A and B are shown apart, each in its own frame.
Chain A
Amino acid sequence: MSDHRPRIGVVTFPGSLDDRDALRAVGVMGGDPVSVWHTDRSLAGADAIILPGGFSYGDYLRTGAIARFAPVMESVGAFAAAGGPVLGICNGFQILCEAGLLPGALVRNKGLAFVCRLVTIRVEPDSAGAGDSSGNLTIGRPGELLAVPIKHGEGRFVASSDELERLESNGQVAVRYCSPAGDVSKDFNPNGSTNGIAGIWNEAGNVLGLMPHPEHAVDPDIGPTGGQPVLQWLVSAARARVPA
């Protein structure tokens, strides 16, 4: 592995909350963090992009519905279409769905309550970082259990039955909520998400949306480190794009 620190852009929208943590986590995981403002049209030369959590534009209309039309999103769309690695966390996931960069949508939690707690998620055996055979550019190991926090009121993933079928058969489900032992069940589904889905890949495997917050779980001094494999993926994917 080279010493090169790939540049990773973190977009701040009005109402983003977790942009600072995301920038810090990128640094902890060996990337070179750079801030990108929602009105920017360029991505500051970033090799990967994070859309962080928060409540962009107050979550008015629908979560992510207004952020999706921010000037920066045109560049993010073009970057993703060209194979650039993009990670959307929580509100970032919601924005990616609204923008059509990921299928489905995130709607109000089944129990109505805002949930804020540590959960366990399971890396899906068939999650591929699709199309990549190096085995490097995916999250962790298949079946690996990650402890990460969630904090959202609208995290219930839904999609049409055709779309769900496609996601499941293509191996685009990245992670599911599960028990500490790794069993996916209703009892360990914090928001009623379809099939316990906590995160998905796009078809090409370069765009990842997650409701849990990996950026809050990278530093062993302050809590669990279940977020590390996710950020590791992003940093590695970014590094792979930089000519050596």
Chain B
Amino acid sequence: MTFHVVVGVRLKEGLLDPQGKAVEAALPSLGWTNVSHVRVGKEIELAVDAPDEAAARAQVVEMAERFLSNPVIETYEILQVSQLVTLSPSDEQAP
């Protein structure tokens, strides 16, 4: 079975996020003056072949801890695990 997994990775709370600050500083110039505490993270999407959802999840946890995030500066969260019905190479053709 193939599972679609989404992992969110963020800078740890309290760690200065210059990207977030830059975005925050740009918002008022577009008229949004009521926004603060902007932080920028990233989302990593994966398709994982595994016997069941628990196995897929366990593997992604290991990948997130060892590679996808750096525990010194980041936290991660598995945002979604769902079974993919079909995923063949033809699904990935260029538009």
Contact = CB atoms under 8 A, between A and B. Distances in A.
B70 A105 contact: yes
Contacts of A98: 70
Interface stretch (A8-16, A81-89, A106-114, A171-179): A106-114
Nearest to B44: A61
B79 interface: no
A159 B72 contact: yes
Contacts of B22: 112
B73 interface: yes
Interface in B1-24: 11, 15-19, 21-22
Contacts of A160: 72
Nearest to B66: A69
Interface residues of A, number: 20
A98 B15 CA distance: 18
Contacts of A192: 16
B32 interface: no
Contacts of A119: none
Interface in A179-207: 192
A104 interface: yes
Contacts of A17: none
Contact-size category for B: 10 to 19
A34 interface: no
Dominant SS at the A interface? loop
B18 A61 contact: no
B72 A108 contact: no
Contacts of B15: 107, 158
A166 to B, nearest CB: 14
B47 interface: no
B18 A158 contact: no
A62 interface: yes
Contact of A105 (B16, B19, B68, B72): B72
Contacts of B70: 62, 65, 98, 105
B73 A109 contact: no
A108 B73 contact: no
Interface in B40-93: 67-68, 70, 72-73
A159 B71 CA distance: 11
B66 to A, nearest CB: 9
Interface in A77-99: 97-98
Contact of A61 (B11, B16, B21, B68): B68
B85 to A, nearest CB: 29
A112 B25 CA distance: 12
Interface of A: 61-62, 65, 69, 97-98, 103-105, 107-112, 156, 158-160, 192
26 contacts: A61-B67, A61-B68, A62-B70, A65-B67, A65-B70, A97-B72, A98-B70, A103-B72, A105-B70, A105-B72, A107-B11, A107-B73, A108-B17, A108-B18, A110-B16, A110-B18, A111-B18, A112-B18, A112-B19, A112-B21, A112-B22, A156-B16, A158-B15, A158-B72, A158-B73, A159-B72
